[in-house]
A and B are shown apart, each in its own frame.
Chain A
Amino acid sequence: MIDRRRKVSKVEICGEKVSFYFDGKRVDGHEGEPMAAALYADGISFLSRSVRYYRPRGIFDLHPSCRSSLVNFNGAPGVNPSEATCREGVKVTGETGGVPLMVKLFSSMLNASFQHTRLVRSKLIWSAVRHLVKNNANNPAPVFQSTDEVLASASPTTTLDMDVLVIGAGIAGLEAACEASRNRLKVVVIDDQPRAGGELRFDALTPLGLQDEGQVIVRNLLKRIESYRVQLLLRTAVIGFYEDGLMAYRSDEPLGGKLCKLNAKAIVIATGKVDIPSIFVNNDLPGIISSSMALRLLNEYEISPGERGIIIGATDQGYRVASQLRRHGINLKIVDRKVRAHTEYRNLVNDVDLILGIESVRARGKHSVEGIFLTRDGKVSELPADFVVSSSLQSADIRLPAQANVEIAYFDGLGHAPVHNAFMETNVTNVFVAGGVTGSPFEALHLLEGRIAGLTAVLSLGSKDAEAQREQNVKEYKRKLQEMGVRQTKDEMFRAFDGGARKERTVSESPSWYSDNLDGMQFVCFCEDVLVKDLAHVIRKVGFQNLEMIKRCTSICMGHCQGRLCLVNAALTASIIANSDPNVVGLTRQRPPTRPVPLRVLAAM
């Protein structure tokens, strides 16, 4: 019996102790704690099986938008255990049984080349295969019997009016809210997480260029937010820019919740970054988690991610995670493809083994990760581990700005990000961006971007007083960009905003790429079980290079998470395989809602 809970328990974060049942087994957790965290603490990481290949799946990221594994909650199917919180007596069923024989025989056929295999071109064979196709996908059965006891209320829609809407309560969003509110505007901050502060709220480290620990910075910002009487809506997701309004969705219960219409004169989008899964063979095994999940388990829920871990990516983020895990005596190794790892945080973890110059990674394990095989100088070695942190790439969460018709482009050093200028303006009037979503790497920059975006919002709504303040902040911002070594990268972005000529480029490698071939079980998309080889097939054999066309042939970005985890990986992988400019390959069109909304909630509007 595994118990990964650390002995001290922060009662102020998690509520009363409760127990629920997973596949009949009692699991202890705290009220308000995500079920996935409590299950992980009990050593349960294998929760369900994937849709096409019936692979064991667990939670990759504890984020409510990450739907890499879904469970049945008191009879309601398709519930995300990262979103649902622990409640007394709830019966949760996963799907951890064996794989049906038909699936074992048949599933390998269901890849991207499926539509033109000779077999299915015959009318007779197709009609038989069709039955297998429709019956073999591992989707939940609809709920036919009345399950009113599991249902929370679906409330009618409310409307909220404001001057400035800030999407994302990370440090950039909170700074923007402070500035706008200080200038006497009505500000509402919305975040889909249970607490404000973004990623820094569970970071016990002092970010580069700042004086305080992440958690302290967040605490101070929240105090200011409170004194300015900014309205803060948590556990609420802005789901989309619809023709007839901007909508938010709040769900306290699975299959319940309510919609809220947001009327805002200006919008600051500060949705931060997403941990992108690294690509290697068996990268979908339970126990392979995002860096954000590792820190969140450790610092927010006092749960140790494991005893022996491997961190993929000798990046700033990799070191930040490593240093905090090390404080709790967790055995760690950091691996990277690069021959030299340069990171500002290197001196934090001098006692961690660093294995550089590796060629590929392959995860090992039956139902959860048990170790990895490393290839280095042509030789394969094995490292045992009970968890793997996949932290080699963070990328801007561009789904909402893209929905708002903000132009998204790829820039070296920033990745895919909304095109903006130093005032944080975008091509859409009164839509501004700040923080991680702009592609900027450091928190010290995010704070300044938030401040500037807030002031630009103030100026856009007619107040001239903020002009001098903004000028001063922009000057400081540019100085900081220079100091932190990202001035050139960001200047390219600012020039692009002003209509300057775009540099043509090809990418030869992606920071998320940890494989030396295209043929194995390397998953780009967990929701739809799309492999790298599926992309390669469509690009090389069919000849499509545009991500929209690749999407239509592979169903990438069409799954439960709406491309949150796979969009950037798919775009970069496709660019590399096609040897093409990421801005030519493009992204897929982002469509609302960003979070699935039950039909009964829509119907109750």
Chain B
Amino acid sequence: MSIVIVGGGVIGCSIAYNLAKLGTKDVTIVEKDIPNHGTSTRSASRFRVHFWTEENVRFATESRRIFLNLASATKWNPIISIGGYLWLLPNEKHLKAFEKANQMWARLGVAGTFFSPEETREQYPYLNTDGFVQAFFGPQDGSLHHDYVTYGYYMASKAMGVRCVEHAEATKITLEDGKVTGVETDQGPVKGEKVILAAGAWTADLARTVGIELPMEPVKKEILITEPFRFFLEPFIVDNGTSGYFGQTLRGEILGGIDVPVEKGLRPLNTSILCAKEWAKTVTRVVPAMKYARAFRGWSGYFDPTSDGSHILGSDPEWPRGLHVAAGFGGHGFLMAPLTGEVMARYVAFEEIPELMEPFLPTRFKEGRLVNETLVVG
């Protein structure tokens, strides 16, 4: 069985790795630039298990378990650091929502703790405690080195015989008798009996070439980073009031982003002074010591959110046979990647539907089984 994976990001590489591990011989990744380029490398490199929907919590929790053992699997240390997430809740409405969710999280074994502003100050003396009623701490969440995760999957799958065609942009899915035969690229055709679209924000355009409308639209997001400081900021801070978020990397830089109004679509990947300003305002308010930090640089990448905020995995019986999608993660692709690779590989190789994957099938949109996920950061 020959399989073509469109997209050499973390999702594509993770699927390729897992397919190869299941013994699939003929796997080709088609990447329009170089591996780990489009969106994966622009990640904020954080993972968490706290989502609004049970399906996503369970998916992320299992993904996290795989992350913790990833170093021995891929031989690349993902530089895991479990410092927790600290959500600053600006009003009672946010607090209520988190209290309700925490009951579900407790049931799933990933409960967090609430801190009053006083308790927060005691724990994190550098935080300005004005501006939030309670803080929610999720101790299971953390960070890792996104590049090493993707390169780990990429290099390990290459070692198992996966091919990667670089600098080949897939332009069209090719069909014959209602069955996929591969993809057309600007470097010529790449043949395969099965095609997996793992092209992040570029997925919807590609699906459209065979008349499939996926309910997703790319949005540009920006990340900023400061000069490095001696390590002091253990948790990742999310300021729910402004949607600003930031944390400290192991190298010492403060890294984060904030939502600013932006036109949808694949807009040029540059950065804006507006985002820098809004982020600086949030960071300097929440951690006043950061007034004296200097911004080093920023970059941008695409989110690919779906209409219900959850990812799309698998295929639809009405689609051409052999066509699969693994996209629409809306900013959570990196943390969902390990499990996505496992379930997609089993789905494609053995045509079985693992339990954790079932809620995310593309058929959910027409069947009205949406997985409404609104706890989206950055």
- Contact, CB under 8 Å: B273 / A242: yes
Q: What 0/1 pattern do residues 137 to 151 of A give for CB contact below 8 A with B?
A: 101111110010000
- Cross-chain contact A592 with B298 (CB below 8 angstroms): yes
Structural contact, B77 and A126, CB atoms closer than 8 A? yes
* A602 touching B297 in the complex, CB below 8 Å, given contacts A244-B272, A549-B36, A560-B227: no
Interface centre among B76, B147, B227, B284 (most CB of A within 10 A): B227
Tell me if A546 counts as interface (CB < 8 A to partner B).
Answer: yes
Q: Is residue A474 within 8 Å, beta carbon to beta carbon, of the partner chain? A: no
Between A and B, 25 residue pairs with Cβ closer than 8 Å are A115-B76, A115-B145, A122-B71, A123-B71, A126-B80, A139-B229, A140-B230, A144-B126, A543-B155, A549-B151, A552-B36, A552-B41, A562-B296, A591-B271, A591-B299, A592-B297, A592-B298, A596-B227, A597-B295, A598-B291, A598-B292, A599-B283, A599-B290, A599-B291, A599-B295
0/1 per residue, B222-253, Cβ < 8 Å to A?
Answer: 00001111111000000000000000001110
Which of A123, A139, A243, A600 is B271 in contact with, Cβ under 8 Å? Answer: A243
A115, B77: Cβ atoms closer than 8 Å: yes
| Distance A144 CA – B231 CA, assembled complex (angstroms) | 13
With contacts A139-B228, A592-B298, A605-B273 taken as known, whether A130 is within 8 angstroms of B293 at the C-beta atoms is no
Shortest distance from the beta carbon of A95 to any chain B beta carbon, whole Å? 12
For B141-176 the 0/1 string (1 means CB < 8 A from A) is 000010110010001000000000000000000000
* A114→B148 CA distance, assembly (Å): 11
In the complex, A84 has a CB within 8 A of chain B: no
Are B226 and A599 interface neighbours, CB within 8 A? yes
Asked if residues A552 and B292 are in contact (CB atoms below 8 Å), the reply is no
The reply to whether A134 and B250 contact each other, CB–CB distance below 8 Å, is: yes
Q: Is B1 engaged at the interface, CB distance under 8 Å to the other chain?
A: no
Contact of A121 with B by CB under 8 A:
yes
Q: Is B72 at the interface (CB under 8 A from chain A)?
A: yes
Are A548's CB and B250's CB within 8 A? no
Q: Which residues of B contact A (CB under 8 A)?
A: 34-37, 41, 68-69, 71-72, 75-77, 79-81, 126, 145, 147-148, 151, 155, 226-232, 250-252, 268, 270-274, 276-277, 279-281, 283-284, 289-299
Nearest 5 pairs of A and B residues by beta carbon: A596-B294, A602-B280, A134-B231, A603-B280, A600-B291
* Pairwise interchain contact A116-B77, C-beta atoms closer than 8 A: yes
Which has the most chain A C-beta neighbours within 10 Å: B37, B68, B228? B228
Question: A598's contact among B155, B281, B294, by CB below 8 Å, is which?
Answer: B294
Cβ–Cβ < 8 Å partners of B279 in chain A: 602
- Which residues of A have CB within 8 Å of B270? 241-243
**Alpha-carbon gap, A593 to B227, bound state (A):** 12
Residue A555 is within 8 A (CB to CB) of chain B in the complex: yes
Distance of A589 Cα from B37 Cα, bound (Å): 11
A137 touches B228 (CB 8 A): yes
Of residues B80, B155, B226, B294, which shows the largest number of chain A Cβ atoms within 10 Å of its Cβ? B294
How many residues belonging to A are interface residues under a CB distance threshold of 8 Å?
Answer: 57
Task: Summarize A's interface: helix, strand, loop or mixed.
Answer: mixed
- A residues at B contact (CB < 8 Å): 51, 76-78, 114-117, 120-123, 126, 130, 133-135, 137, 139-144, 147, 240-245, 247, 255, 259, 261, 542-543, 546, 548-549, 552-553, 555, 560, 562, 589, 591-593, 596-600, 602-603, 605
Chain A residues near B272 (CB-CB < 8 A): 242-244
Known: A242-B271, A591-B298, A599-B226. Is A549-B34 also a contact (CB below 8 A)?
A: yes
Give bound CA distance, A553 to B252, whole Å: 17
> Contacts of A543 on B, CB cut-off 8 Å?
155
Task: Count chain B CB atoms within 10 A of each CB in A139, A241, A555, A589 and give the residue with the most.
Answer: A139
A77–B250 CA distance with the chains assembled, in angstroms = 19
Chain B residues, CB < 8 A from A592? 271, 297-298
Query: Is A78 within 8 A of B231, CB to CB?
Result: no
Chain B residues with CB below 8 A from A598, complex form: 291-295
Instruction: Please report the C-alpha to C-alpha distance between residue A123 and residue B80 in the assembled complex, in whole angstroms.
Output: 9
Chain A residues within 8 Å of B229, by CB: 77, 139-142
Q: Is A120 in contact with B77, judged by CB distance below 8 angstroms?
A: yes
Contact of A542 among B145, B155, B298 (CB under 8 A): B155
Report how far A361 CA is from B273 CA in the complex, Å: 45
Cβ contacts under 8 Å, B277 to chain A: 602-603, 605
Q: What residues of chain B lie closer than 8 Å to A240, measured between beta carbons? A: 271
Question: Across the interface, do A600 and B292 meet the contact criterion of CB distance under 8 Å?
Answer: yes
Q: Smallest distance from the beta carbon of A341 to chain B beta carbons, Å?
A: 40
Contact among A78, A134, A140, A596 for B295, CB-based, below 8 A: A596
Inter-chain CA distance A553–B356, complex, in Å, is 33
Residue on A nearest B75 in the bound complex, by CB: A116
Known contacts: A78-B294, A553-B151. The answer to whether A141 contacts B273 by CB under 8 A is no
- Cβ of A137 and Cβ of B252 under 8 Å apart? yes
Q: Which residues of B contact A605 (CB under 8 A)?
A: 273, 277
Give CA–CA (A109, B37) in the complex, Å: 28
Chain B residue nearest to A70 (CB atoms) is B227
Of all chain B residues, which has the CB nearest A251? B294
Q: Which residues of B contact A259 (CB under 8 A)?
A: 273
Q: In the complex, what distance in Å separates the CA atom of A76 from the CA atom of B232?
A: 17
Q: How far is the CA of A122 from the CA of B71 in the complex (A)?
A: 8
CB A596 to nearest CB in B, in angstroms, measures 3
Known: A76-B292, A542-B155. A121 touches B273 (CB 8 A): no
Rounded to whole Å, the gap between the CB of A251 and the closest CB of chain B is: 10
A115-B145, A137-B252, A603-B277 known; A121 and B75 CB under 8 Å? yes
Q: Are A51 and B228 in contact (CB under 8 A)?
A: yes
In the complex, which of the residues B71, B252, B268, B298 contacts A139, with contact meaning CB atoms closer than 8 Å?
Answer: B252
Contact yes or no, A597 B294, CB < 8 A: yes
CB-CB nearest in chain A for B260: A244
Q: How far is the CA of A244 from the CA of B293 in the complex (A)?
A: 23
Chain B residues with CB below 8 A from A126, complex form: 71, 77, 80
In the complex, A141 Cα to B230 Cα: how many Å? 5
How far apart are A249's CB and chain B's nearest CB, in angstroms? 10
Task: List residues of chain A with CB within 8 A of the CB of B151.
Answer: 542, 549, 552-553
Q: What residues of B have a CB within 8 angstroms of the CB of A549 in the complex?
A: 34-36, 151
Q: Is the CB of A123 within 8 A of B147?
A: no
Contact B250–A130 (Cβ < 8 Å): yes
Closest chain B CB from A528 CB (angstroms): 9
Are A142 and B290 touching (Cβ within 8 A)?
yes
What is the CA–CA distance of A542 and B156 in the complex, to the nearest angstrom? 11
* A123→B252 contact, CB < 8 A: no
B34 & A133 in contact (Cβ 8 Å cutoff): no
Q: For the complex, what is the distance from the CA of A600 to the CA of B291, rounded to whole Å?
A: 5
Given A126-B77, A142-B290, A143-B292, A600-B284 contact (CB < 8 Å): yes
CB distance from A581 to the nearest CB of B (A): 14
Chain A CB within 10 A, most for which of B34, B75, B274, B295: B295
Within 8 Å CB of B280, what residues of A? 599-600, 602-603
Shortest C-beta distance, A548 to chain B (Å), equals 7
Given the interface contacts A123-B71, A599-B280, does A593 sit within 8 Å of B252 by beta carbon? no
Q: In the bound complex, what is the Cα–Cα distance between A116 and B77 (angstroms)?
A: 6
In the complex, A255→B231 CA distance in Å? 21
Shortest Cβ gap from B237 to chain A (Å): 14
Check B77 against A596 for contact (C-beta < 8 Å). no
Chain B CB count within 10 A is highest, among A122, A245, A247, A597, for A597
Q: Within the complex, which residue of B226, B250, B290 is in contact with A133, where a contact is CB–CB below 8 Å? A: B250
Residue from B80, B230, B289, B295 within 8 A of A593 (CB atoms): B295
Verify B232–A142 contact, CB threshold 8 A. Answer: yes
Query: A195 CA to B332 CA in the complex, in Å?
Result: 49
